[in-house]
């Protein structure tokens, strides 16, 4: 039985997870950039409801978010690779389905929803691996 759909969905999830790491590094860069920090502070100072401690709290969120996104993306890549290798050639579709689903759950939860799209793709691939069964072989009727 061909598992082309699961393979393509797994590869798409891996690629999107790898792109997620770039967003994580972007969040880390934003948190360390003094230029971005000064722009954010100058924009938020126009809001009378925010004070400097609120602005620092918002800017303190970026390194945490960056690391969470990076960890979630790497988790998705690892479980996705295990799933793609397992589904290639229809070797172990049950293992592949389990890896895709575990990767989807972890990626969605760790990234706090930021990795929704790759997690959804992994979830679809995992369900396809577990649900699709090979057709029973047809035997010729006796005459």
Residue-wise pLDDT for 13-51, tens only, equals 999 999 999 999 998 998 888 888 888 778 877 777 777
The pLDDT value recorded for residue 57 is 83
The CA distance from 76 to 135, in Å, is: 31
The pLDDT value recorded for residue 30 is 87
pTM: 0.82
The pLDDT value recorded for residue 49 is 79
DSSP 140: P
Q: Which residues of the chain have pLDDT under 50?
A: none
Q: How many CA atoms lie within 13 A of 139 on its CB side?
A: 3
The CA distance from 21 to 140, in Å, is: 54
């Amino acid at each position: 039985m061909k598992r082309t759909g699961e393979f393509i969905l797994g590869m798409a999830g891996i690629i999107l997870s790898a792109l997620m790491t770039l967003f994580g590094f972007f969040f880390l860069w934003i948190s360390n950039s003094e230029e971005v920090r000064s722009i954010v502070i100058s924009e938020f100072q126009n809001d009378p409801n925010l004070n400097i401690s609120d602005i620092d709290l918002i800017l303190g969120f970026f390194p945490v978010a960056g690391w969470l996104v990076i960890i979630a993306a790497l988790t998705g890549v690892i479980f996705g690779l295990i799933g793609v290798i397992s589904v290639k050639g229809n070797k172990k579709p049950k293992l592949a389905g389990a890896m895709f689903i575990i990767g989807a759950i972890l990626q969605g939860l760790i990234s706090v929803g930021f990795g929704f799209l790759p997690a959804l793709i992994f979830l679809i691939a995992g369900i396809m691996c577990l649900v699709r069964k090979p057709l029973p072989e047809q035997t010729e009727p006796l005459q």
